[in-house]
Structure 1
Amino acid sequence: MMQQYQNIKAENPDTILFFRLGDFYEMFFEDAKLASKELELTLTGRDCGQDERAPMCGVPYHSCEAYIARLVAKGYKVAICEQTEDPAKAKGLVRREVVRVVTPGTVIENSMLDEGKNNFLCVVAMFGNRAGLCFTDSSTGDMQVTELDDGDLAQRICNEIGRFNPSEVLLNPEAGHSKEITDFCKNKVNGVVSVQPDANFDEAKCSDLIRRHFHCTLKTLELEGKPNATVALGVALGYLYETQRTGLERIQGISLYSESQYMQLDLSTRRNLELIQTMRTKEKRGSLLWVLDKTRTAMGKRLIKFWIEQPLVSCARITQRLNAVDELFSEGIARAELGELMQGVFDMERLMTRVVYGSAGGRELKALSKSLEFLPRIKEILQNAKAGMLREIHTAIDPLEDVHDLIERAIVDEPPVSVREGGIIRKGYSEELDDIREDMTDSKSFIAKIEAQERERSGIKNLKVGYNRVFGYYIEVTKSNLSQVPPTYIRKQTLTNCERYITEELKQLEMRVLGAQERIVAMEYQLYEQVRKFVSDQLSRIQNTAQAVARLDVLCSFAQTAAINGYCRPEVNMESTVRIVEGRHPVVETMMKDVPFVPNDTLLDDDENRAAIITGPNMAGKSTYMRQTALIVLMAQIGCFVPAAAATVGITDSIFTRVGASDDLASGQSTFMVEMTEVAFILKNATRRSLLILDEIGRGTSTFDGMSIARAVLEYVADKKKLGAKTLFATHYHELTALEDELDGVKNYNIAVKKRGDDITFLRRIVRGGADDSYGIEVAKLAGVPDTVMARAKQILRQLEGEGTAAVRPVHTRKRKTPPPPEPEESGQMSFAPSAAENISRRLREVDVNTLTPIEALNILYELCRQAKE
């Protein structure tokens, strides 16, 4: 047996081998030491013909999933080695084979998966300036394939990996040599990364495997002319055949996509906008997904996450979704009933995976059957739907009455866990099985008859007929009645207070009863396999229905969220304008239970309102305002209603954000270096149809360096000849507000604040004009900085204000001169130090006389007089 173990282990060297021995999976040698440590198991030993006992530990086979899940979560691969022949019929050593290798990216067990997340395996095939990527989820049969070329290839590969967040990544050697890709996978993705041999990425080999698996040509799959995508797909299939061994018919097709089909969201943007999880706690609560997810099914939970991470750029497809949401929004009663019906639908996609792989038990089939009960009524409700997408869903839903009827006729209401011990097939399903069961019933009555007959014949009143697994059927007689035992009885066993006997008649009955029981178990398993095979053959019908239910679930979720939170339908078009009336941040508004959210308007276009400079103190709401604008645009393009009184959204091809301070110690990058790297990526990849959210550019370095960088970036993004993207630009460099008068398309906005002495009140309202102060000291006071520190800060501030900017210069490590103004013929820009008259003129333009109180008017007048004297 140990030789058998060593041979199998040699074929699976990079795995932990679970070797089946009876009711346990055993591990030996180094595997045992490793598993003992990782799983906290007792390490024992076993004689194996060597000088020392082999280290050994094991886990019960019926509870192995929990142990495998712990090992896989830590990045290990587990090879499952089963007995592949009946020990009772085996001659000599029982044959054993590895039936499956469980890796992080190939898990299909529900107990090891999060129902709301896909579990993707990723393959990257990178050759020169082109790459193919394949993302496959074995638990659902989903397979996404794309091909990338030119541009910043490594960064684009990282963005795709970050979007799917795979639990396992396979790289070809060239991709494995890319420090950017490997560092990203190690530091940003929670999956296991491995570099596969170059021989696996042979195009001819991969193409042949794809044709054999899908039974069609590359042209049919739209892979012709896409060699890198073909290789990535072929390697993924090969890896699944190597690890899964069976059930690969679950993967019936692929979804070939291109980056241009979806809005581009890099990893930094997804993180900053907190689409799926929060930045700080990594939890769903507090994210956009948390607000929008009112789904009732596991399939819907996975799909809504997918939609949020992949906003559309097709106006027609977005309008399709919006029309469906609009109809469900209006039909509240139908929406509520659909929600109740879908509440009873189990995870049909993953149930079918277990059915196809042959690992589903009676309980999985019953769960599938219960799900199918609700389909006819769901289809009936959608019968009169007007929206095109709802009509498509109605057509795609197959009631599957034949599948439901078969399972209900064949499987008992409460099936046992095991399918090999009988008790799973319902009475009345098979006449032959019922006949054998009747024999069993007759045998039991015959046993009772024998017992009564022997009592009468022997005169022993307490004689009884019993059974155990060792001796079979027997007649038991107490010691006090031994003298009455007939001579035809054959002694079988002696106990303390009785003797056990057998008779020829009892032996014949035993053979009949036990033979019937074995036949029943064997026949039930055979009948069960026939039912499972029939259900497995309906994979396409059930898969299409599951996907249709998932889409309906997400659309109902969008409609339900809109109804609860008072969202409006956005107008989505191909123009370049984003106009939002009384927009709100969907997450902040939901989190603020007792305080009303202050809505704000937004106007961005590619003409007079390309860039908005937003000034104001910290904590006043600048970041919330900018993020809510990005989220409203994103929500509109996933086909969802938005938190606003009205909204018009021109198709945006990408959203980029540079928000917050963060370093990357793992790769040795400082906060400022991270900021500049993100800015560089944005400037290289943004287009005129992009939306940029830039918060506090240049704050990680000295004042003049930071201000210079911030101004240069703003000039670049606002210039139509260079970029001209729609931009929200928050800054504390108030000098930049002068750009409104110097550059076309730049407008100043600020967060309104009320100040009373040393106290300030944030009004959360975005108003035209630049802020006159950062209120940094007042904010520090709100944060709880000690009074002594605050008093000293005010003294220093008065000194600096009196001395001007020259007082700041000694703080820096090197002396700087004020940057010379740009050449007039290049841009016509003015100096950073405007005259007093210009300051007064600008301040007057910023004043809204309709909202001033008398005391505020006097304060402004006093301020203007002081500036005039200076």
Structure 2
Amino acid sequence: MTNPESPGTKLTSRATAAAKRVAPENADYRTVDQKKLTPMMQHFVKIKEQYPHALLLYRVGDFYETFFQDARKLAEELELVETSKEAGKGIGRVPMTGVPQHVLERYCTLLVEKGYAVVICDQVEDAATAAKEGRQVRREITEIITPGTLLNEGMLNARRNNFLAGVVIARNYWGLAYSDISTGEFFTTQAEDLEVLSQELMRLQPSEVLIPTNAPDLGSMLRPGETSEHLPKCLPPSFCYTFRPQSPFSQAEARQRLLERFKVRSLEGMGCEHLTLGVRAAGGLLEYLEETQKQTHVALQTLRTYTIADFLILDHQSRRNLEITATVRDNTFHGSLLWALDRTSTSMGGRALRRWFLQPLLDLKGIQARHDTIQELSENTQLREDLRQLLRSIYDLERLTGRASSGKANGRDLVALADSLLKLPDLAELAADGNSPYLRALQQVPPNLEQLGQKIQAHLVESPPLHLTEGNLIRPGINYQLDEMRSNAEANQQWIANLEVTERQRTEISNLKVGFNKTFGYYISVSRSKADQVPDNYIRKQTLTNEERYITPELKEREAQILTAKEDLNQLEYEIFAGLRTEVGEEADEIRKVSRAVAAIDILCGLAEVAVYQGYCRPTMVEGRKIRILEGRHPVVEQSLPAGFFVP
């Protein structure tokens, strides 16, 4: 098993000369005398001991750095240059690898794809404040990223779910729970036969699977392809497995955690009161989310129970041979059945269609409801085209809501969400004349969602900045206090802008200038040849080769007002924004309910489009196992060949 703890991690070929001078005993934080480390290194080691099985990225200035064996692992996996850093007088140099803060997400994505967990330790105060007080910058864990707990848009595949699964096995029986925290989906099931469990995991393709065990190496993660004596042999080796303690997966603890999370007295309403193993798996998964997402509220939908027998069971080999989502030859999307039939306009529609393909319905009534809607959309060209046009302008409601609920949404996310919510009444109006089940499901949009969209749009500027603490988020006229503070700030800025003109007139120094830098703040610059003409109230602040820089009491007073006002202004804007984001979280269940209906109609519009342009007919569905196909055509082969080349 490979993990960052491995003390035998070798020096990489990209190591610098400084890295090669590191003493062998300094390559592992467990073998150094921690009392001799610098205060920063002691803090790094203290956090590393809490998360020994994850890669720790530690913010230092504009970089995220890591040390000891983590540094060598990071350099090896990402092909970065390994160097070294002084760790204390009695220690010497230790391995170090760093990445710039502006590309952190890209490198974290690469690490997660390789099966690593990443812990982010960030600076939570201004370094200048700590420097003035003569102490270390305060740093805290701000994020724990594992393959199954991704929320950031840049780390997710827009058209695929990112499932985290939990498994409990008791002899030949098993319980399975899985969740996509980016969309809030949360399911559980229970069945017999371990081969069925293996097939269900192959269908879901989870990014991470939690396994309760008594193994001594709790918290460690098996990367795809790695093996362990503690991993049940029935589980496919192609996933990331995380070993967890047994207690959160116990019946009593798991059940109580679910009851408290969803604020219910019984699990009967979720359909899992009698599913002991399913409840244990769901409770253990929930505990893992609570542990890894302490800084983030994960807004899960109410736990739903499903039965495998309700769907057509396709084993992994059959799905592979049928090339449903990927080709056999090179495992690519292009050339698969999903490629041939996916005409969805939204990301949530694309994810739902993949789920439909991998979990086909057996219920005749449900199948006919889908066929009825496809037929109506095929026959009503104008309706289909209008719906598809409108769907193209709707963003990913599921994941936008997930980020808002977890407190990770930025201004642009909320603007996109508001734009989409305000399209829902138009969607309902188009579906108003529809008779088929899925069109009828769109005809009633909760008015509170439209009101929420209007409120967000009224509050936020059209193009908000990416970072929430930069200000310029909220429109004028929304908050009286905010408008008053902006007016005062503008008046102070105008005073500064006029200062250069007034001082030139007063002093008769034509080349006098007013400038600003982060070190000294605002200053008045005068060439050295004119320095003898400055007024008595000018206080010399800095002497340069060609100029003298001065301040005045009034200038410093205005500067203090400007800088304080800017901080207060940005803070108030953030608080208003955070209130809006909280309101979105409160409507999460309602938004997700609507988003499922939107995703379904998106799928059916796309399938109707394929049926019209490919000349497909509606099949007659009957009970029983008989199937009869007349003049059948292979959709993938037909679309792969030039027009007219395919022979049925």
Q: Do they fold alike, i.e. is TM over 0.5? A: yes
Q: Which residue of 2 aligns with 1:386?
A: 435
- The 1:182/1:367 distance shift into structure 2, 3 A limit, reads farther
Q: Is 1:208 aligned to 2:251, yes or no? A: no
Query: Using the alignment, how far apart are the partners of 1:494 and 1:272 within structure 2?
Result: 78
Query: Using the alignment, how far apart are the partners of 1:292 and 1:180 within structure 2?
Result: 38
Query: Using the alignment, how far apart are the partners of 2:504 and 2:212 within structure 1?
Result: 80
> Cα offset for 1:499?
1.1
When the two structures are aligned, how many residues end up with a matched partner?
593
> Cα offset for 1:380?
0.4
**Contact map agreement 1:101 1:244 (CA 8 A) in 2:** yes
Query: Using the alignment, how far apart are the partners of 1:240 and 1:429 within structure 2?
Result: 37
> Cα offset for 1:395?
2.8
Q: Deviations over 1:357-407 (max 9, x none)?
A: 212211111221222232221110011211123212323576722222222
**Contact map agreement 2:325 2:339 (CA 8 A) in 1:** yes
Query: Using the alignment, how far apart are the partners of 2:547 and 2:123 within structure 1?
Result: 41
Q: Which residue of 2 aligns with 1:7?
A: 46
Q: Deviations over 1:228-263 (max 9, x none)?
A: 000111111111111122444410212211111101
Query: Using the alignment, how far apart are the partners of 2:527 and 2:124 within structure 1?
Result: 46
- The 1:567/1:398 distance shift into structure 2, 3 A limit, reads farther
Query: SS of the counterpart of 1:45?
Result: strand
1:423 aligns with one of 472, 478, 503: 472
2:211 aligns with one of 171, 187, 195: 171
- The 1:94/1:218 distance shift into structure 2, 3 A limit, reads farther
Q: Which residue of 2 aligns with 1:330?
A: 379
Q: Deviations over 1:496-531 (max 9, x none)?
A: 222111122222222222222222222222222122
Query: SS of the counterpart of 2:444?
Result: helix
Q: Which residue of 1 aligns with 2:340?
A: 291
Q: Which residue of 2 aligns with 1:16?
A: 55
Q: Spell out the pairing of 1:106-185 with structure 2 (5 A cutoff).
A: 106-149=149-192, 153-173=193-213, 182=233, 185=236
Query: Using the alignment, how far apart are the partners of 1:516 and 1:471 within structure 2?
Result: 18
**Contact map agreement 2:507 2:533 (CA 8 A) in 1:** yes
Q: Spell out the pairing of 1:234-273 with structure 2 (5 A cutoff).
A: 234-273=283-322
Query: Using the alignment, how far apart are the partners of 2:268 and 2:229 within structure 1?
Result: 31
**Contact map agreement 2:341 2:610 (CA 8 A) in 1:** yes
Q: Deviations over 1:610-631 (max 9, x none)?
A: xxxxxxxxxxxxxxxxxxxxxx
Q: Is 1:555 aligned to 2:604, yes or no? A: yes
- The 1:567/1:197 distance shift into structure 2, 3 A limit, reads same
Query: SS of the counterpart of 1:571?
Result: coil
Q: Which residue of 2 aligns with 1:342?
A: 391
1:364 aligns with one of 410, 413, 427: 413
Q: Which residue of 2 aligns with 1:67?
A: 107
Q: Which residue of 2 aligns with 1:564?
A: 613
Q: Is 1:46 aligned to 2:85, yes or no? A: yes
**Contact map agreement 1:154 1:181 (CA 8 A) in 2:** no
> Cα offset for 1:179?
10
**Comparing 412-421 and 81-90, the one that deviates more:** 81-90
**Contact map agreement 1:47 1:53 (CA 8 A) in 2:** yes
Query: SS of the counterpart of 1:420?
Result: helix
Q: Is 1:523 aligned to 2:572, yes or no? A: yes
- The 1:499/1:67 distance shift into structure 2, 3 A limit, reads same
Code of the residue aligned with 1:185 in structure 2: it is: P
- What is the TM-score when the length of structure 1 is the normalising length? 0.65
- The 1:179/1:526 distance shift into structure 2, 3 A limit, reads closer
**Contact map agreement 1:297 1:345 (CA 8 A) in 2:** yes
> Cα offset for 1:147?
0.4
Query: Using the alignment, how far apart are the partners of 1:492 and 1:371 within structure 2?
Result: 54
- The 1:178/1:512 distance shift into structure 2, 3 A limit, reads closer
> Cα offset for 1:46?
2.5
> Cα offset for 1:112?
1.4
> Cα offset for 1:183?
6.6
Q: Which residue of 2 aligns with 1:532?
A: 581
Query: Using the alignment, how far apart are the partners of 1:592 and 1:42 within structure 2?
Result: 48
Query: SS of the counterpart of 2:596?
Result: helix
1:314 aligns with one of 356, 363, 377: 363
Higher relative contact order (CA 8 A, sep 6+): 2
Q: Which residue of 2 aligns with 1:34?
A: 73
Q: Which residue of 2 aligns with 1:443?
A: 492
Q: Percent identity between the aligned chains?
A: 39
> Cα offset for 1:87?
5.3
Query: Using the alignment, how far apart are the partners of 2:366 and 2:144 within structure 1?
Result: 40
- The 1:482/1:211 distance shift into structure 2, 3 A limit, reads same
**Comparing 59-68 and 556-565, the one that deviates more:** 59-68
Q: Which residue of 2 aligns with 1:806?
A: none
Q: Deviations over 1:731-788 (max 9, x none)?
A: xxxxxxxxxxxxxxxxxxxxxxxxxxxxxxxxxxxxxxxxxxxxxxxxxxxxxxxxxx
**Rg (Cα) greater in structure:** 1
**Contact map agreement 1:154 1:178 (CA 8 A) in 2:** no
Query: Using the alignment, how far apart are the partners of 1:492 and 1:179 within structure 2?
Result: 68
**Contact map agreement 1:372 1:399 (CA 8 A) in 2:** no
- The 1:332/1:361 distance shift into structure 2, 3 A limit, reads same
- The 1:336/1:492 distance shift into structure 2, 3 A limit, reads same
Query: SS of the counterpart of 2:269?
Result: coil
**Contact map agreement 1:397 1:544 (CA 8 A) in 2:** no
Q: Deviations over 1:70-90 (max 9, x none)?
A: 111111110122334565666
Q: Spell out the pairing of 1:427-576 with structure 2 (5 A cutoff).
A: 427-576=476-625
> Cα offset for 1:172?
3.6
Code of the residue aligned with 1:81 in structure 2: it is: C
> Cα offset for 1:479?
2.2
- What is the TM-score when the length of structure 2 is the normalising length? 0.87
Code of the residue aligned with 2:104 in structure 1: it is: C
2:247 aligns with one of 199, 205, 214: 199
- The 1:406/1:397 distance shift into structure 2, 3 A limit, reads closer
Code of the residue aligned with 1:536 in structure 2: it is: G
**Contact map agreement 1:154 1:180 (CA 8 A) in 2:** no
**Contact map agreement 2:397 2:420 (CA 8 A) in 1:** yes
Query: SS of the counterpart of 2:140?
Result: strand
Query: SS of the counterpart of 1:574?
Result: coil
> Cα offset for 1:105?
1.2
**Contact map agreement 2:247 2:253 (CA 8 A) in 1:** no
> Cα offset for 1:44?
2.6
Q: Deviations over 1:425-444 (max 9, x none)?
A: 22232222222221122122
Query: Using the alignment, how far apart are the partners of 2:297 and 2:281 within structure 1?
Result: 17
Gaps of 5+ in 2: 1-39, 216-226
Query: SS of the counterpart of 2:631?
Result: strand
Query: SS of the counterpart of 1:470?
Result: coil
Q: Spell out the pairing of 1:219-238 with structure 2 (5 A cutoff).
A: 219-238=268-287
Cα root mean square deviation, aligned = 2.2
Query: Using the alignment, how far apart are the partners of 2:642 and 2:600 within structure 1?
Result: 31
Query: Using the alignment, how far apart are the partners of 1:101 and 1:565 within structure 2?
Result: 47
**Contact map agreement 1:158 1:181 (CA 8 A) in 2:** no
Query: Using the alignment, how far apart are the partners of 2:548 and 2:106 within structure 1?
Result: 46
Q: Deviations over 1:136-163 (max 9, x none)?
A: 11111112211012xxx12111110111
Query: Using the alignment, how far apart are the partners of 2:402 and 2:243 within structure 1?
Result: 28
Q: Is 1:81 aligned to 2:121, yes or no? A: yes
Query: Using the alignment, how far apart are the partners of 1:233 and 1:245 within structure 2?
Result: 18
Query: Using the alignment, how far apart are the partners of 2:472 and 2:118 within structure 1?
Result: 32
